[in-house]
């Protein structure tokens, strides 16, 4: 078997893309999107007819540009549910990352749109940033039967807060952590076992298993196939088409790195004060969380401008 096939035997492989052809080619279990990927998808020829049809429907209904973005996001997500057998992650507008009530309202609205299109909430993960407010939104949405994917995880404390809130899945980022430390330390790179991004996800995974947390750990934001391989055995791994191609072309042996050894250690609940202090005390996590929210917001604005031009 090639390395991608070996990886699928150890971890659930998730496509980090909205590109239909790439998803069909590599046959992941799930796929995940964010504003950056929706922006790219909206410019693919494969979505041209869907975009045109969606614009026409929203225009006839008298909707505005934000209505169009929500509807387009759900329509692209709907197309993806017809290709992958598992979950499709759909992200809440990053502008809402510090408003629990508005995140809850937006998540419910997106799920309503999916259900209007005949797609069950059981197929969708609502993706929100792992701010304190985002974690509380996910806690509330769980009561509605809405599962969440908490993204932009850069610290163990963020991960613990998610697990203690009963969040279904978290996306701890690898490459963005690596990028920060490369710049901070003025180095070209790290040996894979010393890579701070890899170490972060391994720590979270082992902590969750030791404490019996049910929350799924999905490594994300990879810069190389070697980083993906270094987390073989993690619950889920979301990987770009380029890296999926590299893994599929490699016939070498892939060793399992992470094993789900269950434990029953207990720890005290993480308070809001604990959470905020941990972020303030961790320059990397604080910087990258804020930067990630800004970038997703900027890409949503780019999508808004792109659609506005097309409508005009």
Flag the least confident range among 30-39, 222-231, 245-254, 260-269: 30-39
Question: What are the tens digits of pLDDT across the range 136-162?
Answer: 999 999 999 999 999 999 999 999 999
DSSP 8-state symbol, 173:
B
288 among known catalytic residues:
no
Pick the catalytic residue from 106, 127, 209, 288. Answer: 127
Residue at token pair 């072309």: 249
**pLDDT of amino acid 44:** 81
Higher pLDDT, 60 or 27: 27
**pLDDT of amino acid 41:** 81
Flag the least confident range among 31-45, 139-153, 273-287: 31-45
3-state secondary structure of 46: helix
**pTM assigned to the model:** 0.94
**pLDDT of amino acid 3:** 98
At 90, the pLDDT band (50, 70, 90 cuts) reads very high
CATH 3.20.20.70 for domain 3-305, yes or no, is yes
Question: What are the tens digits of pLDDT across the range 236-257?
Answer: 999 999 999 999 999 999 999 9
Residue spans of the domains in the chain: they are 3-305
* Integer angstrom CA distances of residue 261 from 119, 197, 203, 255: 35, 22, 13, 17
**CA–centroid distance for 195 within its chain:** 21
Residue at token pair 């995880």: 153
């Amino acid at each position: 078997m090639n390395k991608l096939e070996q990886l699928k035997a150890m971890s659930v492989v998730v496509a980090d893309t909205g590109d239909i052809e790439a998803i069909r080619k590599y046959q992941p279990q799930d796929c995940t999107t964010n504003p950056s990927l929706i922006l790219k998808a909206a410019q693919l020829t494969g979505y041209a007819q869907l975009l045109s049809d969606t614009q026409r429907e929203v225009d006839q209904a008298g909707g505005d540009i934000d209505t169009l973005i929500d509807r387009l996001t759900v329509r692209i997500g709907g197309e993806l549910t017809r290709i992958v057998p598992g979950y499709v992650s759909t992200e809440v507008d990053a502008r809402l990352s510090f408003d629990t009530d508005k995140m809850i309202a937006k998540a419910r609205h997106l799920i309503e749109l999916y259900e209007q299109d005949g797609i069950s909430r059981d197929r969708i993960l609502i993706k929100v940033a792992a701010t304190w407010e985002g974690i509380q939104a996910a806690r509330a949405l769980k009561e509605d039967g809405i599962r969440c994917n908490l993204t932009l995880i850069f610290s163990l404390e963020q991960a613990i807060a998610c697990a203690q809130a009963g969040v279904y899945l978290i996306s701890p980022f690898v490459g963005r952590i690596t990028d920060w430390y490369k710049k901070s330390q003025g180095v070209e790179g790290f040996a894979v076992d010393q890579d701070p991004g890899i170490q972060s996800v391994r720590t979270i995974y082992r902590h969750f298993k030791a404490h019996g947390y049910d929350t799924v750990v999905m490594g994300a934001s990879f810069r190389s196939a070697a980083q993906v391989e270094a987390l073989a055995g993690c619950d889920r791994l979301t990987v770009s088409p380029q890296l999926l191609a590299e893994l599929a072309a490699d016939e070498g042996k892939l060793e399992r790195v992470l094993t789900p050894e269950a434990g029953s250690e207990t720890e005290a609940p993480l308070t809001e004060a604990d959470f905020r202090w941990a972020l303030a005390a961790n320059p990397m996590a604080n910087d990258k969380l804020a930067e990630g929210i800004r970038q997703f917001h900027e890409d949503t604005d780019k999508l808004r401008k792109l659609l506005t031009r097309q409508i005009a």
